[in-house]
């Protein structure tokens, strides 16, 4: 996924794979400190979380989360849910 290769036999541009990548980014940002967010993204942690949460929300919606049987989309949703543990939803 990191190098744009296929995942689970599907192209990296499929909606499920895009959702998984977005969920991984959201998870990674959620694990960062305030100082790390400012250093990496030039944004506060809450601003970075909001940005990456929004991207994950959009990607999950585009992957049709509620109607899919795609394993990558399911992995994305589980990653997203686990990442929300410390995150306060707006």
Each residue of 36-70: pLDDT tens digit?
999 999 999 999 999 999 999 999 999 999 999 99
For the segment 78-89, what is each residue's pLDDT rounded down to a tens digit? 999 988 865 555
CA distance 88 to 66: 23
Task: Answer yes or no: is pLDDT of 90 > 50.
Answer: no
Cα dist from 48 to 14, 17, 56, whole Å: 25, 21, 12
CA distance 7 to 83: 21
pTM over 0.85? The answer is: no
Q: Indicate the domain borders of the chain.
A: 25-85
Per the model's pLDDT, the better-predicted residue between 64 and 12 turns out to be 64
Q: What residues pair up with 7 in beta bridges, in sequence order?
A: 10
Over its C-alpha atoms, the chain yields an Rg (Å, rounded) of 13
In this prediction, residue 76 carries a pLDDT of: 95
In this prediction, residue 83 carries a pLDDT of: 86
């Amino acid at each position: 996924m990191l190098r744009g290769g296929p995942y689970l036999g599907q192209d990296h541009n499929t909606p499920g794979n895009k959702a998984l990548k977005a969920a991984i980014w959201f998870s990674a940002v959620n694990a960062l400190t305030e100082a790390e967010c400012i250093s990496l993204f030039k944004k506060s942690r809450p601003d970075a979380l909001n940005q990456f949460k929004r991207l994950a929300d959009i990607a999950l919606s585009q992957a049709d989360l509620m109607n899919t049987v795609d394993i990558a989309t399911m992995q994305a949703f589980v990653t997203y849910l686990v990442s929300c543990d410390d995150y306060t939803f707006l």
